[in-house]
Structure 1
Amino acid sequence: MQSFNHLITTRPHQVRQVLISDLHLSPQEPALVQAFLALLDDCLALPALKRLFILGDWFEVWLGDDTYLSLLKEKRSEDEQIAHWLTPLIAKLKQLRINGCEILVMHGNRDFLLGQPFCNLFGGELISEPYTLPVGQQNYRLEHGDALCTDDKKYQFFRKIMRNRLTQWYLLNKSLEKRLAIADNMRQRSQQNNANKAAHIMDVNDKAVRQAIATSDALLHGHTHRPDIHQATDDKKRYVLGDWRLLDKDTRQPKVSAVIGAVTDDQRSNDSFSSNDLSSNDAKFGLFEFEFLIR
């Protein structure tokens, strides 16, 4: 697998779109937050970057936009806002948007309560799955990936309930403390259930994949934490993004590693490409390994 770090130093003008998934950010995992900030610095340095996709599970848990927006509405001290772990992320994302890069965010199974009001803070846009992304002469189907795990009947039933607008309205009208208690209970039950499930049950179902890819040329998703390139059918591929994980945490040089996607335009030079053209026939998609050393 190619190195993303090498890509941005050798071909920065050719990177047009970046796609990531399953960051599982939280204040309890500062290394992952640092790595995401580092990726955003890389994105800010890419002169031709026009889109950043976050395909679900951006956060380990999201209890509602008010968990952060309340800092602004209640006009708490500026120091408290600055100290919040989300504030640096929002600042860099906002600068990225000002630079002309769209930021497109998709729900995952852990952050399905994420709303447009939070995305408005940095000029982002919530997108629904599936989302069609033109790459060259092909159409890629983008989704988080949990809907493809149809062998897990219990989870699919749970997913259907949680994605219902009435259920979400009910949850968001609970106090933050009650939402936190509900989330903790759900997390414990999920861990217990997953411990007793066969590994293949929590992976995608082949039939579901073939149905999903039927009207597209390729499929791209995350969720399974099993990054790879699969031959979905005789002539179509399934690309799986990787989760962000801390490696070698007990060594002197721990690092965060992730498998991300990028759309590049290999045939255009910096002088000839059109900044508004995202559907060039020369565009190509690839998976890249992103690594960040923790300091």
Structure 2
Amino acid sequence: MILLLSDLHLPNESSPLREGFLRFLAGPARRAQAVYILGDLFEYWVGDDVGLEDYAPEIAALRALTASGVAVFFMAGNRDFLVGQRFARATGVRIVDDPLVVELGGVATLLSHGDLLCSDDRGYQRWRRLAHSRLAQWLFLRLPKARRHAIAGGLRRQSGAGKRNKPAAIMDVNAQTVQATLRRHGVTRLIHGHTHRPADHLLRAGTRRATRLVLADWHEDRMEYLAVDAAQGCVRRRLDAPSV
């Protein structure tokens, strides 16, 4: 069984979301062959030197999971693309590129955070190219910790305001981009997050039928992950409520 999840947006303060993720790591994840986290695990990550302290319980729980023999893979999202090798060494998690083709349940599947597929949002794509440049990251990571937190918080508020002023369609994936991406990688199944629009979509990639599965973003009343195996296919599951 392979488990996939994304868009938890764990804050750096106490939260039911953080408690839920710890339950996931200690429960369903322990019974999995592998876990894929497809970005935006954290609300924002301003560098390994800060994040390893801010999220110490999650770091320890991930280390315990990988030490138990479960393979865990992390793909950066638009909020936590600064997760680096110190995080990988501390947790035993393998950082992978976006996009990535893997075999899940006997089906070649393309995994992505999903923001690259939102090609209609040209303003965001320009920002993404800048934020992922080595020079911009090098400069940002040399700022004082408090300054980095302040910038990240400001960007988060700016992003929220910007979304309210954008047409909804712009913030979703572009159908032509999805089809071209599937054809380029030679697969008929795509799993991604980012858009916060969980659904199963049927489409065509050239002459072949294809499937696009959008992972759910987490909320206090809905902490969902996707389970994949050869027998059952892709099944959406919700994390059980904590026992009283």
The TM-score normalised by the length of structure 1 is 0.76
- Tell me whether 52-61 or 230-239 shows the greater mean CA deviation: 230-239
List per-residue Cα deviations over 1:137-168 (Å, max 9, x = no partner): 42100000011111111101101111111111
For the 8 Å contact 1:241–1:287, the answer to whether it is kept is no
For the 8 Å contact 1:43–1:96, the answer to whether it is kept is no
The separation in 2 between residues aligned to 1:287 and 1:232, in whole angstroms, is 19
Number of the residue aligned with 1:226: 197
SS in 1 for 2:91: coil
Q: CA deviation at 1:182?
A: 1.6
List per-residue Cα deviations over 1:49-93 (Å, max 9, x = no partner): 221111000000101001045x6xxxxxxxxxxxx6x23222222
SS in 2 for 1:117: helix
The separation in 1 between residues aligned to 2:12 and 2:240, in whole angstroms, is 18
Match of 2:11 among 22, 26, 37: 26
SS in 2 for 1:204: coil
The separation in 2 between residues aligned to 1:161 and 1:173, in whole angstroms, is 17
Match of 1:177 among 141, 146, 154: 146
**1:264 pairs with 2:229:** yes
Number of the residue aligned with 1:132: 101
Residue correspondence of structure 1 range 72-83 to structure 2 within 5 A: none
Q: Are the structure 2 counterparts of residues 261 and 186 from structure 1 closer, same or farther at C-alpha, using a change threshold of 3 Å?
A: same
Number of residue pairs aligned between Structure 1 and Structure 2: 238
Number of the residue aligned with 1:238: 212
List per-residue Cα deviations over 1:177-219 (Å, max 9, x = no partner): 2212221222222122111111111000001110111121210
SS in 1 for 2:154: helix
Structure 1 letter corresponding to 2:192: H
List per-residue Cα deviations over 1:1-30 (Å, max 9, x = no partner): xxxxxxxxxxxxxxx211110010013451
For the 8 Å contact 1:143–1:220, the answer to whether it is kept is yes
Number of the residue aligned with 1:152: 121
Say what the alpha-carbon RMSD is for the aligned residues: 1.8
Structure 2 letter corresponding to 1:196: N
Q: Are the structure 2 counterparts of residues 66 and 236 from structure 1 closer, same or farther at C-alpha, using a change threshold of 3 Å?
A: same
Match of 2:173 among 186, 196, 204: 204
Number of the residue aligned with 2:41: 58
The separation in 2 between residues aligned to 1:168 and 1:227, in whole angstroms, is 31
Residue correspondence of structure 1 range 273-292 to structure 2 within 5 A: 285-292=233-240
User: Structure 2 stretches of 5 or more lacking a match?
Assistant: none
The TM-score normalised by the length of structure 2 is 0.91
SS in 2 for 1:235: strand
The separation in 2 between residues aligned to 1:98 and 1:109, in whole angstroms, is 28
- Tell me whether 130-139 or 144-153 shows the greater mean CA deviation: 130-139
Structure 1 letter corresponding to 2:227: A
SS in 1 for 2:223: strand
The separation in 2 between residues aligned to 1:52 and 1:167, in whole angstroms, is 30
Structure 2 letter corresponding to 1:245: H
Q: Are the structure 2 counterparts of residues 154 and 199 from structure 1 closer, same or farther at C-alpha, using a change threshold of 3 Å?
A: same
Q: Sequence identity of aligned pairs in percent?
A: 37
The separation in 2 between residues aligned to 1:200 and 1:29, in whole angstroms, is 34
Q: Are the structure 2 counterparts of residues 191 and 45 from structure 1 closer, same or farther at C-alpha, using a change threshold of 3 Å?
A: closer
Number of the residue aligned with 1:41: 26
The separation in 2 between residues aligned to 1:143 and 1:118, in whole angstroms, is 20
The separation in 2 between residues aligned to 1:240 and 1:93, in whole angstroms, is 24
For the 8 Å contact 2:227–2:237, the answer to whether it is kept is no
